Amino acid sequence: MTTILAIETSCDETAAAVISAGPALRSNVVASQVDLHAQYGGVFPELASRAHAEVISAVVAQAMAEARVEYADLDALAVTQGPGLVGSLLVGINFAKGLALATGLPLLGINHLEGHIYSLWLATDFDQPDFPLLALIVSGGHSELALMKQHGVYQRLGGTIDDAAGEAFDKVGRLIGLPFPGGPAIEQAAQSGDPQAFSFPRAKTDGDYDFSFSGLKTAVMRAVTVQPSGRRNQRRRGDERHAALRDDVNIADVAAGFQDALTEALVATTCLAARDFAVRAVLLAGGVSANTLLRQKLGAALDLPLYVPPLPLCTDNAAMIGAAAHFRLRAGFRSPLDFEARASWRLSEDVYADELSHS
Ligand code: KG4
Ligand code: ZN
């Protein structure tokens, strides 16, 4: 039975997991830095890498202990190679390389976006449909629409041309005075709001399968902040943090209106791509896939099966990296030990063409 230890440190979660053939979850440990970054209203890269370095050893040890495995029981190691914050990625990559040297186990550098897709394979009710599949990956760093033709074979159809969906949630959350991360906070605030109270824009993009959320963010900013009168009072672009909030605005209505507009854009574009490419099912993944309204609206709009990960596997975790590695390993891939972190790395026909050599 193939068993893999996977490590993920691409952003602000230090995570390790043990995955066995299936793929099946043996352990899944996530040390979140959310409290550390909350005071800055977003992820502070330098602090993130330092915090990863402090806890990675303990997180990996815990994942091994909870799975009740020894290094001798493992068949491979996997680590997120990118995309992500380079300083954060390097902590996980260097730790994994050290383990590979010490144990002699093969190491696989895994694409984080592919990892999000493979979070679906860890859902207990996931009976993989036939290819092609359409994947919508929506997180704090990414909003990508990709056609999955086979295991490991993708065609990127589009993505955001400005803010990622989760980033828009986080920025708008900060703007309306909600705690970081904005996604869950906005979802909660929206429960008592009227989504019709504001009519926020649904952005059009040149690319059929692209998204744009910065106009929506600006519209929310205009609706909730006191507009500067003279030149002297003008705020710098993007300085939404210091804008004064109007006191006659219902924050719950704003949250509901924003969530409605953003999810509608995601749903419309995903449905268009699902129809144009005659896919067999749609996979929704990434932190924003935890959003109930998005799940409901997309499920109702599609006349195809929609698969969503279990809630703990929506946000960053190492289990999904292990699941992706399981299929990579099965296909005979290994990474050379001198591979480097990749800050940006899109899904493509052959994600690993330059990165991995067949063993
Ligand atoms: O996948 P993830 O943990 O990290 C990245 O790879 O970026 O996603 C984190 C993002 C954050 O922007 C957070 O606000 C968003 O996912 N998020 C949500 C919800 N839960 C997390 N957005 C909307 N609704 C939610 N319930
Ligand atoms: Zn992610």
Q: How far is CA 78 from CA 17, 69, 108, 213, 328, in A?
A: 10, 16, 5, 33, 10
* Protein residue closest via CA to atom 21 of ligand 1: 287
Query: How many Å lie between the centroid of ligand 2 and the Cα of residue 287?
Result: 7
pLDDT above 70 (res 263): yes
Give the pLDDT band of residue 242 (cuts 50, 70, 90): low
Q: Is the peptide bond before 228 cis (omega within 30 degrees of 0)?
A: no
A 10 A CB-CB count for 24 gives: 17
Q: Which two tokens stand for residue 91?
A: 């902590």
Q: Is the CB–ligand 1 distance for residue 184 below 6 Å?
A: yes
Output the pLDDT for position 356: 46
Which of 217, 296, 315 for mutating ligand 1's site (highest number of atoms within 8 Å of CB)? 315
Give the pLDDT band of residue 359 (cuts 50, 70, 90): very low
Output the pLDDT for position 136: 98
Nearest ligand to the C-alpha of residue 13? 1
Interval 310-319 mean pLDDT: 96
Which residues are CB-contacts of 49 (< 8 A; sequence separation ≥ 6)?
Answer: 85, 87, 88, 90, 91
* Protein residue closest via CA to atom 16 of ligand 1: 287
Query: How many Å lie between the centroid of ligand 2 and the Cα of residue 197?
Result: 32
Residues measured by CB to lie within 5 Å of ligand 2, the ion: 139, 316
Supply the mean pLDDT for the chain.
Answer: 91
Nearest ligand to the C-alpha of residue 139? 1
Kindly report the length of the chain: 359
Output the pLDDT for position 228: 67
Q: Which two tokens stand for residue 83?
A: 């995309």
pLDDT above 60 (res 236): no
Output the pLDDT for position 354: 52
Residue 73 vs residue 205, higher pLDDT: 73
Cα separation, 10 vs 276, in Å, equals: 33
The minimum-distance atom of ligand 1 relative to the CA of 141 is 7
Query: How many Å lie between the centroid of ligand 1 and the Cα of residue 141?
Result: 9
Interval 22-45 mean pLDDT: 84
Q: What 3-state class would DSSP assign to 83?
A: coil
Q: Which two tokens stand for residue 63?
A: 């994942």
pLDDT above 70 (res 217): yes
pLDDT above 70 (res 75): yes
Interval 174-178 mean pLDDT: 93
Q: Is the CB–ligand 1 distance for residue 290 below 6 Å?
A: yes
Output the pLDDT for position 238: 47
For 58, phi and psi rounded to 5 degrees?
-65, -40
The minimum-distance atom of ligand 1 relative to the CA of 316 is 3
With beta carbons less than 8 A apart as the criterion, state whether 318 and 8 touch: yes
Query: How many Å lie between the centroid of ligand 2 and the Cα of residue 247?
Result: 35
pLDDT tens digit string along 35-51? 777 777 777 788 889 98
Residue 254 vs residue 243, higher pLDDT: 254
Give the pLDDT band of residue 235 (cuts 50, 70, 90): very low
Output the pLDDT for position 39: 76
Output the pLDDT for position 1: 85
Give the pLDDT band of residue 233 (cuts 50, 70, 90): very low
Q: Which two tokens stand for residue 73?
A: 């029981």
Query: How many Å lie between the centroid of ligand 1 and the Cα of residue 9?
Result: 16
Q: Is the CB–ligand 1 distance for residue 141 below 6 Å?
A: yes
Q: Which two tokens stand for residue 133?
A: 């599949």
Query: How many Å lie between the centroid of ligand 2 and the Cα of residue 10?
Result: 8
Q: How far is CA 45 from CA 35, 38, 52, 86, 87, in A?
A: 14, 13, 11, 9, 7
Cα separation, 137 vs 260, in Å, equals: 18
A 10 A CB-CB count for 61 gives: 12
Cα separation, 97 vs 255, in Å, equals: 44
Q: Can you point out the beta strands (E) in 139-173?
A: 143-150, 153-159
Interval 139-143 mean pLDDT: 93
Query: How many Å lie between the centroid of ligand 1 and the Cα of residue 3?
Result: 29
Q: Is the CB–ligand 1 distance for residue 11 below 6 Å?
A: yes
Output the pLDDT for position 77: 98
pTM (whole model) above 0.85: yes
Interval 20-25 mean pLDDT: 91
Interval 261-285 mean pLDDT: 97
Q: Is the CB–ligand 1 distance for residue 166 below 6 Å?
A: yes
